[in-house]
Structures are given as structure tokens and as C-alpha cells.
A and B are shown apart, each in its own frame.
Chain A
Amino acid sequence: MTQTRKPAPKPEAQNPSFSTSGMKLIVPLQGVVQGRGGLLLGTLVPCALFYFLQLYLKRRRSSDATCATPPSEPALPRTSSRSNLSARAGSISRVRISRLASQISRPDDSLYYVGLDRVSIDPFHALHNPHGVIQLGLSDNKLCFDLIGEWFARSLEGSVVSTSLSINGIAPYQTFDGMMELKMALSDFMHQVMGESVKFDPSNMVLTAGATPAIEILSFCLADHGNAFLVPTPYYPGFDRDVRWRPGVDLIPVHCRSADNFNLNITALEQAYSQARKRGVKVRGILISNPSNPVGNIMTQDMLYSLLDFAEEKNIHIIADEVFAGSTYGSEKFVSIAEILDSDYIDKSRVHIIYGLSKDLSLAGFRVGVIYSFNDSVLAAAKKLSRFSSISAPTQRLVTSMLSDKRFIREYFETNRKRIRQVHDEFVDCLSKLGIKCAKSSAGMFCWADMSGLIRPYSEKGEIELWEKFLSVAKINITPGSSCHCIEPGWFRICFTTITLEEIPLVIERIRRVVESCKSSS
């Protein structure tokens, strides 16, 4: 029987007597109490331990920060940085980047963005790449490019374009928040888009390079780092980036259900608000998209009134993203929140509207967005921040000319609405023939399809598997409901304005393949 030697409890003590000296180190206080010079050790030992703890934590923290920079995404080719290799190989500490950069530079986890990337690697082209991935995950309106082309062709004959490019028009110093001529043209345009029932004041506008920076700037102005906005789900995946990344504002979902056709419910809003308050989170506003993205439904006038009352009661803001206001095709009429505000007795300083020309005028590449607010403090701050997201001068001039052609705008609207309705109806019809029902929608460029019958298991995991199947097998990119934070699994957003009427059968065929394979495997 081997006798295991008891390991010494601590490194050698000064005192020759083993047990007592050992005890004195382990329980210095005892030595202190016994008053035998243990006082010295009784202070030294805890101090030394504390010091080493700090040092260890500090080392850990600095190595954490350097370890936080992961290797770059392998999917897209990048030149290898030799410095990367040498730093990994050795000696010097890597330079630290910000927490935000470490978080952002990681590969995308939102399937909405992963899908967009996959399309850019292998994009479908009818002639050059017929087996590529068809883009149905980006709400880009390509249905009326021909109309815009005609306008440009006509303008080239005149001198509209060259006048837009005249140096006197683009060289002189311009204010960051947009030329007054463009603001005036936009206010007329918005008046027309929103049913000609409300006038917009150009001096309440700040123009930005697209609606994306508009949302970010408003988030900076209306909330502090760590505050939150309530947002009805499902919502546009981009909000997570626009509101969370730099402004540092959290998004608290207010879940909407298929039983309500994904319409917002004030009780759910109240609940979410009180839960947030209980957790100590300061809610500063509600972010809504109307017409909604991804569902495509329009908020009723009653609901808008309820929202305003709610906001008034809690003293919070409403940010209404109305970028799809002109893309309506259903029987319901779109009502802008600005119209509700037109009455004198409502506090307008808490309502802010986001608009842009990417969806309603198919000018996504031009980057034209609008912040419309009645709140002077917000406008003043937004004007200054717009210097980081200004619209290019030639583009401003060009767009001003286009918007001033009232006849063209009217014609464009009518045709655009007609075409969206046509494609929407055809698409939804074909989907229903495959057994896929869509939520009732009256606006937008997409349909919100219920594929819950095809997913196994009935969970987010099942939904992701189906999404992957669509992407790799059927080669179409659609947006899964989980990236829109939908609480019910199985819903997908399918954009139909990036394809032509003639391409619908091709898309339906690809979807059919997946549907059959799901049905056969079940």
C-alpha cells in the first residue's frame, strides 16, 4: 500500500515548525490574533494575492482584445496581408480595433445578408448565367426601368442632363442637408405619393444619402446609447444595423401574429413597454414601417391614432418609415401619419417620417433619402449630422429635374402601381397553386409567404434548413422570417419586383422543386 505523501499546503515557510508555520500562512489572521509576527504576513499575503489577481486580469483583458479580431471571411477573396501571418507567428501584440469593429467585422450571422452575399457571388442572368441564384431577397423595383429610361432618353435630347452637370450647379458650396430646390421638389412628390391629402414643408426636411442613414441619424437624435425603441415584428432586417450598431439603441420586438394578419396590437405594445420599464430599459420611441416591410400591410387610421395616443401618454417618439408609400396595389388607401397630424391638437414634435426614392421611384442607386420632422431640435442636429451622408450634387440636380416633370411622375405612378399589382397577383396565385398561402398585403414589393407546412421541425432550425434548401438546391434567395424576427417559424419574404412577368414561371418551377422534395421527404 503506497502511502501518498501529503503535498505541502503552501511553499516553504520561514518557521522551521512545519504545521504551525503552514497554518500561519494559510490563516494569517490566526497568526495575527496569536500576535506572533503574523501581522506582517497577514498584510503582505493578501496584498500580494490581490496584486497578482489584478495583473492576471489585466493580461487576460489585453489578450482578449487582441484575440477579438478574427480572421477575415474566407468566402470573398482578399489579398493576404503578410503582416497577419507574421503577427500570428509571433512576437508583437496586435493593434487593437474598436469593440464595434470587432463585432461588425465578423462574418454575417443575419441570413438576410448572407443570402444577399450568395447572390452577388453567383447572380442569375437569363443569358449569361441561367443557373445562377435568382434574387428574391432584395426589394428593388426593376419593373419600371423602361419608363425611367424613356425619360432619360427624352431629357438627353433636351439639355436637362447636361444642365444638371453644369459646373455652376454643382461646384458652389452647398449645405449638407440638401439643396432647397430638391427639397421643394420632394415635398411636392411626397404630397402626390401620399394621396394628395397632406402638404409637406421643405424646411422640415433633411436630405440624406438614402433612407438608411436617415434612420441612423434619427436614432442618434432621439435616444441615448443603451435606450431602446419598440418595433413591431416582423421587421426589416436592416433596422438591426441602422439602429443598434453606431447609435447603440436597442430594438425591443412587439410580436404580431398571423391571426391578426400581422397587424400591430396596442395591448402587445403596452405589454412590451411595461416589460421594458420593469427591466429598467428607457424606451424612447416606436419604430414602425408603414406600409410594413416584410408583410406589406397598411396601418389603418384608427391604429395610427392609437399609436399617437400611446406615444403621447408615454411621452415617446414615433419614427414612421414610409418608404413604400407609393408602392400600393391593393384596395386599401395608404394614410400617412403626417395626415393624421394635420389636426392642430396633436403634439407634432414627437413624430418623424423617413422617406426615400429607392422604392417608389426605382432610384435605389441614386441614394436619396428624407428625414421629415416637426421637431426643431431634431432638425438642427440632423442637419449637422447629414454632412456624413450627403447626396451628391449632380444627383440632386438630376432628381430635381425628374421630379419637376409632373406629367412623367403621374404616368410613372399609374404604370408602376399597375405593374406591381399584376406581378403580385400572378405570383401569389402561382404560390397558392403550390399550396403556399400568403398574408394579405396591399403594398410593398414582396409577399409574405407561409411555408410552415414545409418545415421540419416546426422551429427556427427547420426554417433555416428550408432557407438553405432554397438557396443551394433551388437557387433562389428569399428572406426567412427569423431574420425579420418573426415569432412564428416558417414565414418567408419573397420579393417579386426584381423579376419580370415572364420570369415568374421559372421561379415558380424552382420553388415547386423544393416544395415537392419537402413533401416527399416528410
Chain B
Amino acid sequence: MRVIVPLQGVVQGTGGLFWGSVIPCALFYFLQLLFKTKSNKTRRHHPPSPSPSPSPSNHNHHSTLHRSLSPTPRHATASAYVSPRANSITTATSPYYFAFSDDPYHQTLNPQGVIQLSLYQNTLSLDLIQDWIHHNGTDSMLGKPLSLSRILPYQPLDGLVELKLAVARFMSHILEKPVSFNPSRMVLTAGATSAIEILTFCLADHGNTFLVPTPLSPGFDGVVKWRAGVEIVPVPCRSTDDFNLSITSLERTFNQAKKRGHKVRGIIITNPSNPAGKLLNRETQLDLLDFAREKNIHIISNEMFAGSSYGDEEFVSMAEIMEAEDHDRDRVHLVFGLSNELSVPGLKAGVIYSYNDNVVAASSKLARFSTVSAPTQRLLISMLSDTSFVQKFIEGNRQRLRKMYDTFVAGLKQLGIECSSSSGGFCCWADMSRFICSYNEKGELELWDRLLNVAKINATPGSSCHCIEPGWFRFCFATLTEKDVSVVMERIRRISDATK
């Protein structure tokens, strides 16, 4: 008894004290040892450590020739080590179904081809851009007279000051409100995606998490996960709320995440959202700010498509909200996409706008890995400073997007397909649950396959957007012409008729 219940011996004060301390210590020690060996074993299952093998020290051709002739590889695995993080990036199955088919649709040349409705791009207003570039492109890039010292040598890594000033003016235009942007809070990056990755590196450590409302843009996971190692905890939005963000849902998800031991460092909101196209109203954004303050986390407001809002409701930028705030602004960061706004993603120009001095300092330095080409910066400076062009473009673009959205949604309605009401972006979010056989992800992917092979349309299934309700599909309409829309509807009818 004294050994089994040493404490008893201790209490009885008869030398059990010795056993009472030795036995628990010994047990503890052995437990530690067990854990240590177990973790060593798992580590050893990684690519095996290189086994040093004798190699000829001279560089004589003949002596090394035998290496190529030996049939068996020297090491068990591939000869050179590739890091697991690289392998996980490569193998990350791209749920982003924008697979380029080898049978692309063309109105005249290939009318039976696959229509691409999965590419989140806007070609409706390219003629306006083309026009401007045709008249001003060369001069703006190279200078008139030719001034190469502005584009050839190394430029500040976080972007030219003139471009930051131009961006400040441009964003005020887009918001159609006199919101003032401070250029020294800006960091220019090679694209808005890069801006989000850099912010992720600045706000969270490897293994932390961000809350992100779903459905979200496919491929978004990779941006915060691949290198920064930050996980996304989805905050599900439901069709009952018309896919608007609900603070209760946010609260609930946050608490669940905390219970599971996640360190939540921030929320990323996209406004207008992709794919549902919802705008965040002032009320929600203020609630969001309160929430972030209460939980002491960051807010990243991804407004890269701010200029593509076409709805009746006003677009409220987080910057507008912050204008009225005079304290505790350190937690708010915005992302703008210049190339996205101008419908030319190939320009690769994004902006980080942060109210946190340290984040600005860190991002400016990290921008060295994601710089905007100097000729492109010069082009953008001229383009964004041309106020009459900017005005014309924003208005024209908005109108065309609105028109295309209305046409597309009306066409879907005729087929009995409802969409969530979008107020911005390049796509509509359609409820195709009627056509799926089993109300789950499998059924949804089966429908996607049918759409691709029968209707010859490539659309994005909701599961790759992390939507919790199966059956929702994203159709990008901003690359279509009016005529194409009727073709699309015709094709979708094939599916809807087949199901009936």
C-alpha cells in the first residue's frame, strides 16, 4: 500500500516521504522521455538526412563518368532536398477552377467552345483604357522629352512619392467623397494580392489565424497560408442574410476559435465582397471596429474593387470610417488594387494603406520583394492624375458593370435561377441548388462537371469559395458581351432542361 499510495505513507509520516517524492518524479521523467522519442521518430520520417558518400575528389572526366552509369540512385529519395513548404505549395490542389481549357469559346471562330466564366476580370471598359494609353502611354512612361533617369535607375522600393500622391487623389475620386489619404501611410506593391501577403507577415506570426467571412475568393487561402503560414477560420455567411456579414456569427466563430486554441490576430473583409458582391454598410463596419477593439485584433479591409461598385447603396470605405476616429487606429489597414480598378491586372500595382506606423515601416521594407516596375509607375501617375479621364472611366465602368449585371441576372431569373443581390464586383452569385442531385459538396462538384462538359461553361463552384451551403455558383460576367450572355443562358438552359 505504501508504494501504491505513497501519500498515505507520507501522511502517516513513516518514511513514505521518500517514496512520495521519488515515484512521481520518476514517472514524470519517463513520460518526458517518451514524448521526446516519439517526436524524434516523426521528425525522422521527413526526408532522410543526407548520408555522406565518398565522391571522387578529382575532377577527372573518367573517374566521375562511372557515376552516370550506376543504375541505382545514391539516396533513397530525390537527390536534392526540397523543403516541405515548397512541396505543400505545389501540391495544394487548386480548387480555383479557372482551368484554361484547350477549347476556348470564340464568338465566330469557335462558337461551341467552353465559355470562361471563372476568371474574375473586367474587360467591359478596356476600350477607354486603350484609348488613353494610345494617346498618352508612351509619353507618360518615357517622359516628354525623353527622360530615362526617371525609369532606369533604382527607385524607392516602396513606390514613387508622386505615385502615392496620385493614388491619394484617385482613391478620393473613387469614393466620391473628400476622404483624405496620407501618402506617407502608403506602400506600393506588385499587385493587391502581394499587399495582403505582406500585411499578413506584419500582423500575424506563423500558425496564427485570421477570421475571414465566407464565401471568399478562391485561391485566397494560399495568399495568407503558403509563406506566412497563417490559417483562415471561415466566418460563414448565409443565404438567409443574403450573404451579408453578421456580427453574431463573427462573435461565435471567434469564441469557437479561441476555445480550440487558435490565436486569432485579425479579420480580413473584402468590400465589395467576392463572390457575393455585398457592400459592407457603415453600421456593420462600425460594429466590426468595436469588435476588433474589444478583442484587440486587426482589421484588414480589402477594397481592391472599390471602384467596381455599381449598386444603389453607397460604398463606404473603411477609410471614411477612420476619418471620424481619433484614437485606437493602429489596428486598421486597407488594401487597394490600382491595376484591378483600371481593369488591367497585368499592370500589377497594389497599395497597402495602414494607420499603424510600425506596420507602414515594416511593409515599406518588405515591399522590396514586390516592387512595381518604374515605367508602370510613371504610366499610372499620368493616368491617375488625369482627372477628367478618371471621372469618365469610373462612371463609364460602373454603368457598364451595372448593365451587364442586370442583363445576366435577368437571364438567370428567366431560367428560374435566383442570385444574391450584388452591388459590386465582376460576378453574380447564383443559387443552382435546384439542379444538384445530392445536396452536398459532391453533388455540387458533379454539377460543376456537368456545366463544364454538357453546357460547356466553366464556373466556380461554391465549395472552392468555402461556402457552407452547397449549390451556389459564381459566374463572372464582366468578360462577356451582350451577345455572349444569351449564348450563356442558352447553354445553362441545357442543364436546367435536362434536370426537369
Question: Which A residues lie at the B interface, using CB under 8 A?
Answer: 29, 32-35, 39, 69-70, 72-73, 77-79, 81-84, 86-87, 92-102, 104-105, 120, 138, 140, 142, 145, 148-149, 152-153, 156, 161-162, 165-167, 170-174, 209-210, 212-213, 216, 220-225, 227, 241-242, 245-246, 282, 284, 302, 305-306, 309, 312-317, 343-347, 349-350, 358, 362-367, 375, 377-378, 380-381, 384-385, 387-395, 398
Contact = CB atoms under 8 A, between A and B. Distances in A.
A145 B149 contact: yes
A375 B142 contact: no
Nearest to A368: B373
20 contacts: A32-B13, A72-B361, A79-B185, A82-B327, A83-B355, A84-B330, A152-B148, A162-B138, A167-B126, A171-B344, A173-B121, A213-B370, A309-B57, A315-B50, A316-B50, A345-B67, A364-B152, A378-B82, A389-B370, A395-B373
A381 B372 contact: no
Contacts, number: 322
Given A100-B362, A384-B226, A394-B375, 5 more contacts: A35-B12, A98-B205, A167-B130, A223-B83, A284-B83
Contacts of B203: 97-98, 101
Contacts of A83: 326-330, 355
Interface stretch (B84-92, B244-252, B419-427, B450-458): B84-92
B52 interface: yes
Interface stretch (B32-40, B163-171, B188-196, B486-494): B188-196
Contacts of A390: 190-191, 348
B328 A393 contact: no
Given A390-B190, A398-B375, A347 B79 contact: yes
Contacts of B360: 78
B68 A222 contact: no
Given A98-B201, A167-B126, A315 B79 contact: yes
B326 A393 contact: no
Contact of B152 (A148, A156, A220): A148
A509 to B, nearest CB: 24
Nearest to B194: A388
Contact of B141 (A161, A174, A343, A362): A161
B277 interface: no
Contact of B356 (A97, A171, A385, A398): A97
Given A83-B330, A162-B137, A171-B344, A222 B182 contact: no
A224 B83 contact: yes
Given A32-B11, A349-B80, A375-B82, A241 B204 contact: no
| Residue of B12, B80, B83, B329 with most partner-chain A CB within 10 A | B80
Nearest to A227: B83
Contact of B80 (A104, A209, A350): A350
Given A73-B361, A149-B146, A380 B366 contact: no
| Residue of B64, B206, B371, B372 with most partner-chain A CB within 10 A | B371
List of 3 A-B pairs having minimum Cβ-Cβ separation, nearest first: A393-B346, A315-B50, A365-B374
B304 to A, nearest CB: 15
B350 to A, nearest CB: 10
Contact of A213 (B75, B83, B343, B369): B369
Given A83-B330, A392-B372, A377 B86 contact: yes
Interface in B350-393: 355-362, 365-366, 368-376, 379
Contacts of A388: 190-191, 193-194, 197, 227, 369-370
B257 interface: no
A365 B329 contact: no
A309 B59 CA distance: 8
B234 interface: no
A392 B373 contact: yes
Contact of A315 (B81, B202, B205): B81
B79 A367 contact: no
B154 interface: yes
A120 B152 CA distance: 17
Contacts of B369: 212-213, 216, 242, 246, 388-389
A166 B349 CA distance: 18
Contacts of A84: 330, 357
Interface string B123-148: 10010011001100110011000101
Given A72-B358, A349-B78, A388-B197, A165 B326 contact: no
B184 interface: yes
B83 to A, nearest CB: 5
B55 A100 contact: no
B373 A33 contact: no
Contacts of A148: 148, 152
A375 B346 CA distance: 28
| Residue of B119, B148, B197, B360 with most partner-chain A CB within 10 A | B148
A95 B326 contact: no
Given A171-B123, A381-B87, A365 B355 contact: no
Nearest to A317: B80
B268 interface: no
A393 B80 contact: no
B101 to A, nearest CB: 13
B155 interface: yes
B318 to A, nearest CB: 15
B93 interface: no
A167 to B, nearest CB: 4
A165 B137 contact: yes
A365 B86 contact: no
B359 to A, nearest CB: 6
Contacts of B137: 161-162, 165, 394
B17 interface: yes
B239 to A, nearest CB: 30
Given A302-B59, A365-B155, A96 B366 contact: no
Nearest to A314: B50
B348 A391 contact: yes
A241 B364 CA distance: 13
B151 interface: yes
Nearest to B131: A167
Contacts of A153: 146
Contact of B148 (A120, A149, A306, A393): A149
A521 B376 CA distance: 51
B298 interface: yes
Given A72-B357, A81-B355, A392 B190 contact: yes
B185 A101 contact: no
| Residue of B49, B59, B326, B379 with most partner-chain A CB within 10 A | B59
B142 A365 contact: no
A309 B89 contact: no
B331 interface: yes
B111 interface: no
Nearest to B87: A377
B65 interface: yes
Contact of A95 (B155, B331, B345, B357): B331
B143 to A, nearest CB: 10
B154 A209 contact: no
Nearest to B92: A384
A94 B293 CA distance: 10
Contacts of A138: 154
B133 A167 contact: yes
A261 to B, nearest CB: 22
A140 B148 CA distance: 14
Interface string B402-413: 000000000000
A100 B13 CA distance: 55
